[in-house]
Structures are given as C-alpha cells and as structure tokens.
Structure 1
Amino acid sequence: MPQSSNVPNGASAAPKAKYNRPKPVVLAVIDGWGVAPHWGGNAVTLAKIPFMNKAMQEFPHTTLQASGEGVGLPPNERGNSEVGHLNIGAGQVVLQYFPSITKAIQDKTFFSNEVILQGINQAKQNGKRVHIIGLVSPGGIHSHIEHLYALLEVAKQQQFTDVCIHAITDGRDTPPFVSQEFLADVTTKTQELGVGSICTVSGRYYSMDRDHRWERVEKSYRAMVEGVGPTAATPEAAVAAAYRDGFSDEFIPPTVIQGPKNTFKPIMDGDTVIFFNFRGDRAREITQALMKPNFEGFDRKKSVSNLYFVGFTYYEEGLPIHVAFRPHNVKKSLSGVISDAGMRQLHVAESEKYAHVTYFFNGGNEQPVKGEDRIVIPSPHVPSFDQVPEMSTVQIADTVIQNINRYDFIVLNFACPDMVGHTGNLRAAIQSCEAVDANLNKIAQAVAQAGGIFAITADHGNVEQMVNPKTGEPDTEHTNNPVPFIVTGNAVVNCQLRSGGILSDVAPTLLHILNIPKPAEMTGSSLLVVQPQVARSAASTL
C-alpha cells in the first residue's frame, strides 16, 4: 500500500488559486531514460513502447541536455538523479557540489576550510584518530577520488598522519570490476604523503543503501566500529576474494584490512569522521547509524559518542554533523511558485527515488511548501531490482490516477529504468521500459479525461546503453545522452517545442502551461513555441 507523508484527510490547504490553467498538469520524470539511436544495447528502442512512440508522433516533443555544463556539472560529466531533479525543479542551472568542491581544491580554499581543519585539529589536540569514509571512485556522481586525495593533503599540511580510510567501492557509476586499480592508487597516495592507510573495504550495496535495508548498513557499521567481518591483508586482496566469490565491486562484503602493512583501527569515542561523499541520499543511513543517539535501524551492539563528524555537504535535516560545503540556495523552485499561485500539488515516488521528487525537486528544501502533499510507495525489497523489473511502477500510476482530480499539479518519478539499468541486465531493462510505457499510457488517459496536460521527461540517460559498445560487456553507468521531453493534451496539440533545451527549461515550460508568470530567479526559458492563432485557441482551452 502507498505510504503518505503529510497528507491529511483530503488534500492539504492552499490559498485560492490566482490563475486560469488546465487542470491538472502532471509531470512524469522517468529515471535513466535517454535518447540514442537504435542498436543491440539500447533497451528503450528494443522495448515495445507503443505509447511513447505514438506520443512522439502526435504531440510536441524535443530532447533536452541532461549532463555536463547544461546541468551545472563539469564538461562531459554524466548527469544523475539528484542533479536532474534539482535542475528540473529549480528552473535554473544549479552549480553542483562536484565542480564547486573541485574548484575549491584548485583555488586552494579547500585547504583552509574551517570545518575540515577543525575536525583534524581536534583529533590532533585530543590524541584521537581521523577516519575518512567515502566512495573511492572517479565517477563524480556521489564523490570523486581527487577529493579524498585533497583530504590527505590537508592532513599532511596539518602534520597529522593517524588517518584511517574506510573505502567504499563503486561498480555502478564505474565499470563493475575496476576497484582494485582505484584502491591501489589510494595506497600509493598514502605512501607518498606518509598519511593514513585503508582500514576497511565495503561495496556501496552495504555502505550506501538509501531504502532502509538496515541489515546491509549494519554490516558496514560493524566492520568500521567493531572490526567484525571478513578480513584481508590488503585492500586489493579483499577485492580479489570478493571477485572469486562472484561479487562485483558494488557487492563486496564489508571487509576488515589487517596485515603487515595495514593495521585496522576502529572508529572510537571522540574520533573525527570525515565523509567525503557530496551527494546526501546515499550518505544518510550510515551517518544516522554513527551519529543518531536514538538510532533504531538495528541494534548497535557498540555505539560511539562524541564524534566530530564532518559531512562534505548537507545530508539530512536533524543530523548532528558539521557541514563543510553549504548548498546552492534555490530561492524560487517550481514547487514554491506553484504554491505561491494558490495551487495544490502532489509529489509521488517509490522509496528509492522519493528524495528526488521532494528534497531535490524542491531546490534542496526538506519541508513541503504550502499546499504540497507527498506520497511514498515502498520499493520492492529484493537483492537486485532486475528480479522485479517493474518495481513499484503500477502502484505509482494507480496513486496518481486516484488523485488526478484533487490537485492542480502532480509530479511523479518512475525509478525502474535507472535502477534496473544499474544491474546490467538488458532483458530486465527492456521489461522495465515496457512497464513504464504501459503505465504512462494509463496516466495519459486519465489526464486527458480530466482535461489536463501530461508532460514527460527524464533526469539523465542510462538504460539506452546497457552494453559497452567497445567491450561488449554490461554497462551499468549513466550516459551523456539527451533525454526526451513530450507534452500531451488538447491545449498544446498544435504547438511546437524548440530544440536546444536543457533540464532547467522544464519548469518555465510548465509555468507557461499553467499561465503563471516565471520568476526572475528562473533563468530557464519555456520550450513552447506557440503561433499567434494557436495561442488564441489554446487560451480558451487553458
């Protein structure tokens, strides 16, 4: 059953609407659905998707840039769900943490960051240890390995060497069997600087869960705090053992490194912990386990207290941590503008992507705006989502349809293409695309019956490249491909959408459709190209 958040009996109150508009306007964000030519590794074009194909024939459509500088990332950097939803909801290109932290390293302000320095100096003064946790990867989605190296440089500058690295291996935003190379590079860097060593190795499956699968998080926690788990003499040996057992980098069991050159040192009371992941959704749970006094996710047989915990960014409201890099302030998100116009809105997703249609879509704000309701539907509890390729798509569509006539604006996320895409299972990815298409069709019919507008887009590419074209191996990573943008409904049937758009153009387009003035803070532009006679005709429908 769907779970609701802040949904009272009946829709939440909002001021009386000020503007005429089609009712409702529904935005579907398909996670990980890019646009690319047909070939043997493109799950989108291999799938039977009659609705999407028909919609692109009969209604205005275009493609949008969802990567690189168009979404506030470095040039050619792949997009991701956090960045995508943030840009869609903000209506402006939002400079992301990755390039801003990298810039701080380049201009040397990183090395005078007061929060980081305080953490290191407190450990130095009190005879404690510094623990660095993070995804050891050049993926740039949740972290970057160069940021880890910069932390080690700061420790050296502060003449502090007692540093333990708790390395999380990737395998999703990188190829699935490359972590030995990255861990070896980290070991080389620690030896060059004379600072620290790797104390634990854990796949992100355990250390970066975001769906309250606490049995996974517990294994990571116990390795770091208690030294419980498999042991290996070196980080590379830990990875090799996992490979022999059939695990890729994502699934490496939390392993304690104990050998002649590596002495395991647990996280203890009063230590400093620096978590260098800059994306919050997969950093929250292990941070909660370490820092929340009333934590209930699992029985912490041994808890730690008085930690000086540094999160690279803001992870979650209420977490008692120090934040090294503050977020870009989005003053006027799409949700806020719709609220100010006196309209009611609903945000719907399954738990794997719930934060994206709420926190990120709302410009990094935890709390709902006035008139906003939220419904979260549990994601399937399975070891790998290719076992249930449709995930909770049906329940999401049914929830939206049930609420069509209660809200002026609805935003929903279909998670399965991205989540199944990360498994590398092409057949399952095709099934996920077909499930999304069938349920988009259901929603489109309901929106049409209600006299509304249905807009469809995606946050980044993934499932359109399930096979590495160079190696023929499964490709589990995001892509740089553009994403679709389609608008269906009688009010726009004769309109056109311009080319050259980016994700931050979505919000101004929806405000155009809703007949709400775009605030000055939104630098994006409406994608709608309306001829004068169409404008007059559409106005009567709008």
Structure 2
Amino acid sequence: MRKTALVILDGWGAGNQSDENAIYQAQTPFTDSLSSRYPLAHLQASGYAVGLPGGQMGNSEVGHMHLGAGKVIWQDLPRISQAIEKKELAFIPSWIDLMDFCLRHKKPLHLMGLLSDGGVHAHIDHVLGLVDAAVAAGLDDIRLHVFTDGRDTDPQGGVDYIGKLLHHIKPHSQVRVVTVMGRYYAMDRDQRWERTKKAYDLLLHGQADHQVAIENIEEHIKSLYEKGITDEFLEATLCDHKALCIDEGDAVLCWNFRTDRCRQITRALCYGIVEDGVVLESITTNYVTMTRYDVSFDTIPVLFAKENIENTLGEAIASAGLTQLRMAETEKYPHVTYFFNGGRETPFDGEERCVIPSPKVATYDLQPEMSAFELTAEAKRRVKEDRPDFLCLNFANPDMVGHTGDFAAVIKAVETVDGCAQDLIETLLEEDYQIFLTADHGNADFMVNEDGSPNTAHTTNLVPVWSIARSNPLSIHDGSLCDIATWVKECLGIC
C-alpha cells in the first residue's frame, strides 16, 4: 500500500499554446517542469466520456463525480432531454400531481430557472419542453422567471436566449415572462444571503431595479450590456405586473437540474432563512424541483430522482479500512465530498473533511488568489500530522476566476495555483505519497473568443494528468477521468 494524493486543478485544461490560453501565457515553472520528470497523460473530461451528449463541455460536478465513480455515469442533462423529447413528462407522478393541482385549484404555474444552452445547470430546451407539456396538459396560466447565464455561455448571449424563448411562447397567450435577473443573485451558493434576498424580493414581491414591458426586454438587456452589465449580473427586471409574481398557494417548478446553485433560493422559498441579518419568510407553495437539490429538502417533490452510484472510490477506501481526507475551499467543497462520493452527503467511515472559507468578495477577479495559500498551509499540516492514506484536494482558482473573464486575473490565479501545487506536492513527496495531479475540466485554457470578447465558459479540451512520486511513479495512459479511480486503487492496494 502506498499513500496516495489526488490534487485537482479546477478548470486547468490542455489547450493550444496561444494568446487566448491564460495557462500558456502565465508563468508556471512548476507545472512546466513536470513533463520532463514524471509520466504525463491526457484525459477526456467532456461529452460521452463523462456521461454527457457528444461535444458537451464538462463541469465540476460531472468531473468530480467521474473522478470518484471510476465509470461513466449518464448525467441528468441527457436523461432529462430524452424524457422531454419522448414526451414522457406526462407519465411522471410528480408532474401529473403538479398539473392536477393547477387545474383543480385554478392556480398559475411558475417556471423558474437558468435560461441557457450551457448544459451545466440547465438547458433552454428543457424549459421549452416544460412549457409545451404544461400547455398540452390544459394549463391556462404559465408564468416564467428567467435567470440569465453569462458564465457557462457568452456573457452577452442572454438576449438571444430571451429571443428564442419569446418566439417559442408567442403562439401561447397563456404563457408570459414575468421576471428576468442574473444568476449572480438567483443562483448564489456561498451564503451571500443579500444576493438571495434580491432574487427572493423580485420573485415574490416584484421589487425590481427596472420595470420593462416584455416587448422591450431585448432592447433593455442590450442597453445594460452597453453599461458593462453582462448576463450573470443582470439587474432585477420586472416584465409584467407585480400581481403576477409568486404568491401563497401557487405552483412553482425550478427547472435547473444541477443541485448546488438553486439550493439557497429553494430554501428561502420553502423553508425560510434567518442568516447574517437577512430574514426571508417561507411561503406555502406547491413547489417542485427538477432533481433533488439537497437531502434535507425531503418534503419537495422532484421530477427526476437521483440514480444511486455505488462502489465509488471513497466507498472502496473506507471498505479497506483506510483513512481519507477531502479538502477544498468553500466554492469547491461539495465537489470533493458530495459529488466525489456519487451524491452521498454522509462521510464514509475514516473520511475526514476540511473546508477553508472562500474570500467574501463580489467576484474572484478581485482576489484571484482566493484561499489557495490558506488551503495549502492547512493541507501540509494535515498531511504531516495525520498522514491520511488518501488525500483529495481541489484548487478552485483557474475555474472560479476563469468565469470572470478577466484575463489578467486568471493569469494571477494560474500562477498562484502553480506555486501552491509545488508547495503542497513537495510536502507530499517528503511523506512518500504517490500523487496524481490533474483537472476536472477546462476553462482557463481558452479565455478569448474570436471576436475578442471574454470567454467565461468551460472548454471541451482534454485535461492533463501527471503521475508524481519520489521513486517509481505509477505508469499512466491517455484515457478519461474515470481512469483516475483505478490508478488510485492500484496504489492503495485495493480492488
């Protein structure tokens, strides 16, 4: 048995050596030196290799799930798309109950979620399909609440998605767009409750920065672009009368399928929030989510139940009686725990967890170092003192700063992680660990679009993996993220 570490450089893809690649443009002496000293391979982290449609970019949730599962897990995106395409919603009990509720009680159906074809948290085709299915069920009052993306898609692509949505619903007078706002507010996941309150106040009370007739919404969004306000940060906009916002007794469906970024707004609406001086009272609604956002939300029906993932790497390590430590800063803590364990919230026997708080800044280009230095220092201490048999650690910077589109800040983030990875790996080598240094998907490897605009989305590039050890590093080969689990098991002497 050889103690093993998996160090994940989040968003560090293997892109072209070009001006658009922040990793290539950065000063990264440590990672640059690895290929001449240790085995290097490249892994698929997108499309079919990680259970997504062909050509679909990977993401942190999917990447960590496959790093931990060791096999292809078909994701919610293709599963839901297939159900909608085959018109199978009409056979899903929670959908049937939702339609019946609206019809019997003459209640409106509010559909809310991310309007995007990024496929990371949601997909525009899903909401179009939900609208069609609700119309087919006979509903005569369907109200849409749109969260614009700009993070997993072009920062100014939202106006086109709005246009596509409006074109789709034009034949249906019973369908209307009531509110529009950026995901920065509606989809916060880092306990910035003041952002969640902004979304809550718009959705329930119509408290908006702007009130614009829906026929003028596209021009309004373009005017915000001209002021430097991109989709992610789109200010709260009311497109209809306040009386059409979510009210007591209404039906609500959140169409996001990824679980992490609609937890806070769901908690606020269904259970209420009293946090950091922010008080948001729950309201009584017939609330349904596309997937199970949190195990504690057990009173909320879901359309697509989670498929159990068994025999994960974490489970195998625990079954062998070995110890493991999972570490990340706040932004990626769920990924090295919940997602790496295949959607399991509870730690395995012998599994310790450590989270370092992410900095409280508006956007991470303001502090591209994030909490990498603190994370590294604590990891070094834990490795020396606790000597876990397996360490899984995530450096969030290339991905989280990459999403800001600030090229200079991304270079700083990459350089920070290069130095921190060196510092940590030197300690791991002193303790005779076998180390796999890799990524979950690309991001920082392509930062500028052909038209010169910032690219804030992930990439479909391969990701590197280095096998690092003081002596006899494990031989590795090109493959996919799923191969990591097999290599770790081999080093740990488990099957």
| Class of the TM-score when normalised by the shorter of the 2 chains | over 0.9
| 1:449 shift after superposition | 0.9
Equivalence for 1:249: 231
Within 2, Cα distance between the matches of 1:245 and 1:38? 33
Unaligned runs of 5+ in 1: 1-20, 518-542
| 1:302 shift after superposition | 5.5
Corresponding position: 1:316 with 2:294? yes
Corresponding position: 1:438 with 2:438? no
Equivalence for 1:472: 452
Please list the CA deviations of residues 215-254 of structure 1 after superposition, one character each: whole Å capped at 9, or x if unmatched. Answer: 1110011001011112211232542343243200110012
Equivalence for 1:482: 462
Equivalence for 1:504: 482
Within 2, Cα distance between the matches of 1:297 and 1:76? 42
Alignment of 1:124-273 (within 5 A): 124-230=103-209, 231-234=211-214, 235-258=217-240, 265-273=244-252
Please list the CA deviations of residues 160-191 of structure 1 after superposition, one character each: whole Å capped at 9, or x if unmatched. Answer: 02111010000011111121121122122222
Equivalence for 1:395: 374
Corresponding position: 1:408 with 2:389? yes
Instruction: Answer yes or no: is the 8 Å Cα contact 2:273–2:280 preserved in 1.
Output: no
Q: Aligned letter for 1:513?
A: C
192 and 90 in structure 1: CA distance in 2 versus 1, 3 angstrom threshold: same
Instruction: Answer yes or no: is the 8 Å Cα contact 1:289–1:295 preserved in 2.
Output: no
Tell me the SS of whatever aligns to 1:322. coil
Please list the CA deviations of residues 77-121 of structure 1 after superposition, one character each: whole Å capped at 9, or x if unmatched. Answer: 000000000010111111000000011122221232221221122
301 and 428 in structure 1: CA distance in 2 versus 1, 3 angstrom threshold: closer
Equivalence for 1:71: 50
Instruction: Answer yes or no: is the 8 Å Cα contact 1:256–1:264 preserved in 2.
Output: no
Within 2, Cα distance between the matches of 1:419 and 1:198? 30
TM-score by length of 1: 0.88
Within 2, Cα distance between the matches of 1:506 and 1:111? 40
475 and 119 in structure 1: CA distance in 2 versus 1, 3 angstrom threshold: same
Equivalence for 1:530: none
Tell me the SS of whatever aligns to 1:438. helix
Within 1, Cα distance between the matches of 2:397 and 2:123? 26
Instruction: Answer yes or no: is the 8 Å Cα contact 2:467–2:475 preserved in 1.
Output: no
Within 2, Cα distance between the matches of 1:430 and 1:217? 30
Equivalence for 2:492: 514
Tell me the SS of whatever aligns to 1:192. coil
Corresponding position: 1:337 with 2:316? yes
| 1:496 shift after superposition | 3.0
Name which of 1, 11, 25 aligns with 1:46: 25
Please list the CA deviations of residues 289-342 of structure 1 after superposition, one character each: whole Å capped at 9, or x if unmatched. Answer: 11115654664466412x111110110111131111012211111111001110
Q: Aligned letter for 2:428?
A: V
Equivalence for 2:260: 281
515 and 371 in structure 1: CA distance in 2 versus 1, 3 angstrom threshold: same
Tell me the SS of whatever aligns to 1:479. coil
| 1:200 shift after superposition | 0.5
Within 2, Cα distance between the matches of 1:346 and 1:73? 29
Name which of 361, 370, 376 aligns with 1:382: 361
Equivalence for 2:61: 82
Within 2, Cα distance between the matches of 1:502 and 1:108? 33
Tell me the SS of whatever aligns to 2:466. strand
Equivalence for 1:9: none
Within 2, Cα distance between the matches of 1:209 and 1:367? 23
Instruction: Answer yes or no: is the 8 Å Cα contact 1:71–1:94 preserved in 2.
Output: yes
Number of residues paired by the alignment? 489
Unaligned runs of 5+ in 2: none
Q: Aligned letter for 2:441?
A: H
Q: Aligned letter for 2:113?
A: G
Instruction: Answer yes or no: is the 8 Å Cα contact 2:271–2:282 preserved in 1.
Output: no
Q: Aligned letter for 1:147?
A: H
Equivalence for 1:120: 99
TM-score by length of 2: 0.96
Q: Aligned letter for 2:288?
A: V
| 1:256 shift after superposition | 1.3
Alignment of 1:515-534 (within 5 A): 515-517=493-495
Instruction: Answer yes or no: is the 8 Å Cα contact 1:73–1:99 preserved in 2.
Output: yes
301 and 68 in structure 1: CA distance in 2 versus 1, 3 angstrom threshold: closer
Equivalence for 1:533: none
Within 2, Cα distance between the matches of 1:133 and 1:238? 20
| 1:136 shift after superposition | 0.6
Instruction: Answer yes or no: is the 8 Å Cα contact 2:15–2:21 preserved in 1.
Output: yes
Within 1, Cα distance between the matches of 2:83 and 2:432? 50
| 1:263 shift after superposition | 7.1
Within 1, Cα distance between the matches of 2:316 and 2:161? 44
Instruction: Answer yes or no: is the 8 Å Cα contact 2:272–2:280 preserved in 1.
Output: no
| 1:515 shift after superposition | 1.1
Q: Aligned letter for 2:251?
A: T
Within 2, Cα distance between the matches of 1:112 and 1:194? 26
Within 1, Cα distance between the matches of 2:9 and 2:42? 13
Within 2, Cα distance between the matches of 1:264 and 1:226? 8
